[in-house]
Amino acid sequence: MLNITENTISDEIELKDFKSYNLLRKTKVSRLTLIIFFTLVVGICIFLFLPWTQNINAKGYVTTRSPEQRPQAVQSVIGGRIEKWYVQEGDFVEKGDTIIYFSEIKSEYFDPNLIERTSEQVEAKSQSIESYNQKVDALQDQFRALEDGLGFKREQTNNKIIQVQNKIKIDSIDLIAYQNNLKIAENQFSRTQELYDKGLKSLSELQEKELKVQSSLAKVNVQKNKFLNQKNELANFRIELLAIERGYAEKLAKSKSDQQSALSSKLESVAATSKLKNKLSNYSQRQKLYYLTAPQSGYITKILKKGIGESVKAGSDVLTIMPEKYDLAVEIYIKPQDLPLLYIGNEARLRFDGWPAIVISGWPESSTGIFEGQVITIDRFINEEGYYRVLITGKTNKKQWPERLRVGTGTNAFILLKDVPIWYEIWRQLNGFPPEFYEKNKKSDKDLKRKAPIKSVK
């Protein structure tokens, strides 16, 4: 209808009553349905072949990579009573700043002059060591004097022995001469006796020869006695030498014993002095520990002890300090079935609590408000809750993490694996296969190793 006139018959005629109109209307609807259907099919096919990044979702929190950069509990080395606080929660302290002053609670350290009295004991023991040194020197001099006296006595006795030996030699020669004279006198007497019997010699000559024999015999006997006396004297000198050796050996042994006793007493004094010096050093160091100082620069985050007058045990936590400078990392926990898919260097996308973000896990490049990271550590053992711990740090050449990010902030992490078509991911999810079911070149254990830098200890 051209609708030229204002008169209409639509109020009187229903188009639905005409068969031709109904045929025309059904034809239009079916064509539109087909167009929409084919469009949807093509769109779904295209969608199924779009790339999809496989990922592992995990939750965790922000931490620090180095142990010394994490919140540190400051402990009291000694037991004491809190007398004064120098800090409050939230204060910034430099390394070495005083935090608390303690007073002593052990009775053995109550003496206010403990250092001075211990120093006096050390000085007294040091002087006793010097006295023992002098005694040892005197005993050494005595020992050397005894050795010299033994040498002199030995030389003197040896000289006497030599003299007696010489006399014995002389007496033995004289004895031989007297014996020869006796033989000559006896020969002369026997010949004179023969001549006297024949009447050729007088009685006086015979008696003279007899007298000469008796005189020679007497000289021989005297010389024999003299010779024997010299031998006895030699034996006496040798016995005297042995007695001198024995006597001086006893004196030398006693002197050596006294010397060793003095040396032993000296060593005992040295040990006692060292022990006292150790005590003195411990007392001095203990007094320094009455002031608890900050081990590093940072902020006082939480005070664990109460006010003035509370007693603190040795080794107990007093407060917590957060280091001033730290390198942030994200600590997440993954399920055991996801562990074989990870390796050092995996990329990750991070969403921090408090920073708004729109996350499309399969298309990380389309996500907004998220930050990038990289896996640096994978634990080799499972924790008590049945998860494995993974550390993630930021990339230096990528978008930096927020400056106001603090340790302990909650984090959602999406660890990126490989790019696959959407149809493959749907098929894998329906069949329950792992993400890298057909992966050929899997990472070995050597690829999971990360060596710590070796630093020489001076």
The pLDDT assigned to 448 comes to 45
The pLDDT assigned to 366 comes to 52
More confident residue, 275 or 192: 275
| Cα dihedral 174→175→176→182 (10° resolution) | 110
pLDDT tens per residue across span 16-37:
666 666 665 655 545 677 788 7
> DSSP string spanning 312-349?
E-TT-EEEEEEESS--EEEEEEE-GGGGGG--TT-EEE
Query: At 10, is the pLDDT very low, low, confident or very high (cuts 50, 70, 90)?
Result: low
What percentage of the chain exceeds 90 in pLDDT? 2
Residue 200: phi, psi to the nearest 5?
A: -90, -20
3-state secondary structure of 371: strand
pLDDT tens per residue across span 277-324:
898 888 888 888 888 899 888 999 888 887 788 888 888 889 999 888
Instruction: Say whether pLDDT at 178 is over 80.
Output: yes
Where along the chain do its domains lie? 1-48, 52-67+326-448, 72-104+290-322, 114-288
Tokens at residue 391, please?
A: 């550390």
More confident residue, 401 or 433: 401
Average pLDDT over residues 329-342: 83
What percentage of the chain exceeds 70 in pLDDT? 83
Spell out the CATH class of 72-104+290-322: mainly beta
The pLDDT assigned to 92 comes to 92
> Rounded to the nearest 5 degrees, what angle is found at the Cα of 62, between the Cα atoms of 61 and 67?
120
- Return the DSSP state at 451: P
Q: Which residues pair with 100 in a beta bridge?
A: 85, 292
The pLDDT assigned to 454 comes to 45
Please state which architecture CATH assigns to domain 52-67+326-448. Beta Barrel (2.40)
Flag the least confident range among 112-126, 229-243, 419-433.
419-433
- Does pTM top 0.85 for this prediction? no
The pLDDT assigned to 21 comes to 63
Interatomic CA distance for residues 323 and 68, integer angstroms = 8
Kindly give the interhelix angle for 19-48 and 422-431, rounded to the nearest 10 degrees. Answer: 80
> Rounded to the nearest 5 degrees, what angle is found at the Cα of 72, between the Cα atoms of 68 and 75?
120
The pLDDT assigned to 349 comes to 82
Of 13-17, 256-260, 428-432, highest mean pLDDT = 256-260
Element housing 131 (H / E): helix 114-198
Q: Find tokens 């509370």 and name the residue.
A: 310
Task: State the CB neighbour count (10 A cutoff) for residue 383.
Answer: 10
Average pLDDT over residues 431-439: 57
More confident residue, 59 or 343: 59
Kindly give the interhelix angle for 203-288 and 114-198, rounded to the nearest 10 degrees. Answer: 170
Q: Are 80 and 312 in contact (CB under 8 A)?
A: yes
Q: Which amino acid is at 454?
A: I
The pLDDT assigned to 160 comes to 84
Instruction: Say whether pLDDT at 155 is over 80.
Output: yes
3-state secondary structure of 439: coil
Interatomic CA distance for residues 106 and 62, integer angstroms = 43
Instruction: Say whether pLDDT at 62 is over 50.
Output: yes
More confident residue, 388 or 363: 388
Looking at the domain 114-288, which fold is it?
Helix Hairpins (1.10.287)
The pLDDT assigned to 1 comes to 47
Average pLDDT over residues 184-201: 81
Average pLDDT over residues 245-267: 87
The pLDDT assigned to 26 comes to 56
Same fold flag, 72-104+290-322 and 114-288: no
Nearest to 174 by CA among 109, 225, 133, 232: 225
Element housing 100 (H / E): strand 98-103
Query: At 457, is the pLDDT very low, low, confident or very high (cuts 50, 70, 90)?
Result: very low
Q: Are 123 and 203 in contact (CB under 8 A)?
A: no
Q: Are 102 and 76 in contact (CB under 8 A)?
A: yes
Query: At 11, is the pLDDT very low, low, confident or very high (cuts 50, 70, 90)?
Result: low
Q: Are 367 and 359 in contact (CB under 8 A)?
A: yes
